[in-house]
């Protein structure tokens, strides 16, 4: 985890300076979040290599989570060209996430 991104200004800058970002919000005490995170990382490595991954622990980034209204874990926010395009929380289907990302990813990168 990059502790610098726990500050709203740094997180906003990271989103603006990268064409595509997947922000994964959870805590170390969330067993579902810990189980889903490696699946999400594998999805990105396999299908969406240009999508930047960042993990944010809700316990250490309260200003970021408040700004982006993330109060449930796990939550995934996907940003394309600085704008939130996808939001998924709790029971996250990797297949549904793949389908949601694929269309926008194709428009931007291919």
Which residues sit opposite 20 in a β-bridge?
80
Domain that includes residue 23, residue range: 3-109
Of the ranges 4-8, 9-13, 75-79, the best mean pLDDT one: 75-79
What confidence score (pLDDT) does residue 7 get?
79
Quickly state the pLDDT bin for 1 (edges 50, 70, 90).
very low
**Number of domains into which the chain is organized:** 1
Provide the CATH number for the domain around residue 27.
3.40.30.10
- How does DSSP classify residue 84? E
| Backbone torsions φ then ψ of 18, nearest 5 degrees | -130, 140
pLDDT of res. 33: 78
Which pLDDT tens digit goes with each residue over 55-91?
999 888 889 999 999 989 999 999 999 999 999 998 8
- Per-residue pLDDT, 5: 63
């Amino acid at each position: 985890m990059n502790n610098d991104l726990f500050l709203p200004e740094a997180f906003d800058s990271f989103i603006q300076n990268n064409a595509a970002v997947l922000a994964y919000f959870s805590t170390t005490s969330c067993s579902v979040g810990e189980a889903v995170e490696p699946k999400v990382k594998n999805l990105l490595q396999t299908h969406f290599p240009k999508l930047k991954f960042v993990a944010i622990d809700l316990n250490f980034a309260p200003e970021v989570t408040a700004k982006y209204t993330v109060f449930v874990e796990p939550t995934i926010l996907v940003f394309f060209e600085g704008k939130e395009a996808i939001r998924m929380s709790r029971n996250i289907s990797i297949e549904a996430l793949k389908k949601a990302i694929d269309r926008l990813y194709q428009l931007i990168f291919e």
